[in-house]
């Protein structure tokens, strides 16, 4: 299994609050709802973090997601329904996921560790079963993907 790790991201919320939000995928429904909010879309445009031509694609993809407590499913992809399912919760420090329905076996770990009473740090790790050729092709996109995922998770308002 080939592993790709993000850099460590600082979160301005306690470990328990971060874990609570990430261990119940129903909490992501708010992100799905915000994608259709014109004010949020305008804020996204103004930030310059997402290219203009990708905003509508992201909105469409988010609206298609089927979210439950334990899984996120993207229906109708070219390879069929692809699901990211929670397979293990290690409260309050780690949530492990497994990819189902994709042509490549893989998993994702989100680790959360406290840095103080009111702050924590987060790291994402992707593990994928890749043959030599696929490893050469997918190495850069997977590394960039795990880094972008960690960045996104660091921006979520976790509250406490």
- What sign has the CA pseudo-torsion 16, 95, 90, 10? negative
pLDDT of 38: 84
* DSSP of 110-148: EEEEESSSS-EEEEEEEEE---HHHHHHHHHHHHHHHHH
Which domains, and CATH codes, for the chain? 1-24+84-160 (3.30.530.20), 25-68 (no CATH)
120 pLDDT higher than 70? yes
Q: How many Cα neighbours within 13 Å face the side chain of 77?
A: 15
pLDDT in tens, 42-72: 877 787 777 878 888 888 888 888 999 999 9
pLDDT of 23: 96
pLDDT in tens, 29-44: 887 887 778 887 787 7
Place of tokens 């949530």: 95
Mean pLDDT of 102-119: 94
121 or 80: which carries more pLDDT confidence?
A: 121
pLDDT of 160: 61
- The pair of structure tokens assigned to 153 is 């998770």
Q: How many Cα neighbours within 13 Å face the side chain of 96?
A: 7
- The pair of structure tokens assigned to 18 is 């971060």
CA 139/CA 22 separation, integer angstroms? 26
5 pLDDT higher than 70? yes
Q: Which residues make Cβ contacts (< 8 Å) with residue 149, sequence separation at least 6?
A: 6, 108, 124
Give Dmax over CA atoms of the chain in angstroms: 45
107 pLDDT higher than 70? yes
Mean pLDDT of 84-110: 94
Q: pLDDT averaged over the chain? A: 89
Q: Tell me the whole-structure pTM to 2 decimals.
A: 0.82
Of the listed ranges 50-59, 81-90, 107-116, the least confidently predicted one is: 50-59
Percent over 90 (pLDDT), the chain? 55
């Amino acid at each position: 299994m080939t592993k790709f790790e993000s850099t460590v991201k600082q979160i301005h919320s306690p470990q328990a609050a971060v874990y609570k939000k990430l261990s119940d995928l129903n909490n992501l429904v708010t992100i799905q709802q915000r994608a259709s909010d014109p004010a949020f879309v305008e804020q996204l445009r103004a930030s310059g973090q997402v290219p203009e031509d990708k905003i509508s694609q992201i909105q469409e993809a988010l609206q298609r997601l089927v979210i439950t407590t334990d899984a996120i499913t993207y229906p109708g992809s070219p390879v069929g329904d692809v699901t990211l399912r929670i397979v293990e919760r290690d409260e309050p420090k780690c949530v492990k996921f497994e990819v189902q329905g994709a042509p490549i076996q893989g998993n994702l770990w989100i680790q959360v560790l406290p840095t103080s009473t009111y702050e924590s740090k987060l790291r994402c790790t992707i593990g994928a079963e890749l043959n030599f050729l696929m490893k050469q092709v997918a190495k850069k996109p997977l590394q960039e993907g795990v880094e972008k995922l960690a960045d996104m998770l660091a921006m979520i308002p976790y509250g406490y």
